[in-house]
């Protein structure tokens, strides 16, 4: 099977690596010759590194590299069975690309977008045969991250969904099915990890170091929210938040923070710029956290219950199955535990009370409790346990 990829940036070249390592001939296209050169150098470097570590042989590295063809036109895509678009998050540009693709590829070719925030249905609407368009959302870097969100458009044929899932599963990925709604699973459910941490900062309850300390020591998260935002890039994280906020008709649960916007405007983007919430310069001094255990517990519980509420609401609105929501958050963003399992452990009634306390304090719709959690509290049921509460 030939795989064609549009876009040779970090995501596109990473997907090319994965496909080539699983035996596919890959056509990698980008309008920018420099991007193709950088992609070639990246692939050569990463494959040589894998060979040096003994994960693949030198012969395998050469064979894999030889399966990737850099092309400067999409005209060679005529033999591709699957095309994956991984370009700029601009709906008009993506629609234009998909419209052009239909003039090149055979009728049976699957057309996929790697979008993380745009409507797959809107992209499919640009095509004469929208039933073969689907979302395949990889996480960066694709070579390391196991999770892939498969998102059918409302026009997508069930057969195309099954074929796509089978292909991506064969690449050793963990696939989850998501409804075509803003943020899909991960970028929707994860919003409070950043948003509520920023709210706690903006209120002056704790500084960035203390909030990160709380989430790592009490919650067991690998990185705190501010460390992670600096790692992702404050410009990228803010844009995703703003996109989700606007896509949900300005629902206050997804409201961006002026603090993060100002950092992005100032060029304090995080690790890539040398400064963000933390200073990454040589000999830079960063604040030490307040290690008060009660404060840490309160910070962790507030952020966690907001995450649980978002996961429960995603299930309530049938964005994905409860099993796929848990997989998405543990494999996509490496949460230490699935949020719905966490809710079972804490107690559904406890979650409802915590959310209601936040709502009583602020009287903001941001803190409204998911109808599903409230229903489960009334019925005394769990997400994953049998029977009723004892």
Which residues are known catalytic residues? Answer: 116, 137, 149, 187
Q: Is 1 helix (H, G, I), strand (E, B) or coil?
A: coil
Is the CB of residue 153 less than 8 Å from the CB of residue 123?
yes
Helices within the chain (DSSP H only): 10-21, 33-52, 58-66, 91-101, 120-124, 158-170, 186-189, 191-202, 208-217, 225-232, 234-247, 258-266, 293-316, 322-327, 339-346, 348-362, 371-379
Tell me whether residue 274 is exposed, middle or buried, using C-beta atoms within 10 angstroms of its C-beta: 0 to 12, 13 to 18, 19 or more: middle
User: Radius of gyration over alpha carbons of the chain, in Å?
Assistant: 22
Separation between Cα atoms, residue 144 and residue 284, nearest integer Å: 30
Beta strand 82-85 with 25-29 is: unpaired
The first and second tokens of residue 207, run together, are 């500084």
């Amino acid at each position: 099977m030939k795989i064609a990829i549009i876009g040779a940036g970090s995501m596109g070249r990473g997907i090319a690596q994965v496909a080539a390592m699983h035996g596919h001939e890959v056509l990698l296209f980008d309008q920018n010759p420099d991007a193709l050169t950088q992609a070639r150098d990246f692939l050569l470097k990463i494959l040589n590194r894998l060979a040096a570590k003994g994960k693949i042989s030198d012969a395998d590295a050469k064979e894999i590299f030889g399966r990737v063809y850099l092309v400067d036109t999409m005209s060679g895509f005529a033999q591709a069975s699957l095309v994956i678009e991984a370009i700029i998050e601009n709906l008009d540009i993506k629609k234009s690309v998909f419209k052009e693709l239909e003039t090149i590829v055979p009728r049976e070719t699957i057309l996929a977008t790697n979008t993380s925030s745009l409507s797959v249905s809107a992209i499919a609407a640009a095509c004469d045969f929208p039933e073969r368009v689907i979302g395949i959302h990889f996480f960066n870097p694709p070579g390391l991250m196991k999770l892939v969100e498969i998102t059918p458009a409302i026009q997508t044929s069930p057969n195309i969904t099954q074929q796509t899932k089978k292909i991506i599963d064969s690449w050793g990925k963990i696939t989850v099915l998501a409804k075509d709604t803003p943020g899909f699973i991960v970028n929707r459910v994860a919003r409070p990890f950043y948003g509520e941490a920023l709210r706690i900062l903006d209120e002056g309850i704790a500084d960035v170091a203390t909030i990160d300390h709380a989430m790592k020591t009490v919650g067991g998260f690998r990185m705190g929210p501010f460390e992670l935002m600096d790692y992702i890039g404050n410009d990228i994280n803010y844009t995703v938040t703003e996109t989700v906020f606007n896509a949900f008709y300005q629902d206050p649960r997804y409201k961006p923070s002026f603090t993060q916007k100002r950092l992005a405007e100032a060029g304090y983007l995080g690790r890539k710029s040398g400064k963000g919430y933390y200073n990454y310069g040589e000999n830079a001094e960063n604040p030490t956290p307040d290690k008060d255990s009660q404060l840490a517990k309160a910070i962790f519980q507030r952020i966690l219950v907001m995450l649980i509420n978002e996961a429960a609401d995603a299930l309530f609105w049938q964005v994905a199955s409860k099993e796929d929501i848990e997989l998405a958050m543990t494999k996509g963003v490496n949460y230490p535990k699935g949020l719905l399992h966490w809710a079972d452990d804490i107690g559904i009634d406890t979650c409802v009370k915590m959310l209601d306390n936040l709502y009583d304090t602020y009287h903001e719709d941001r803190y409204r409790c998911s109808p599903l959690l409230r229903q489960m509290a009334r019925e005394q049921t769990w997400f994953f346990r049998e029977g009723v509460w004892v």
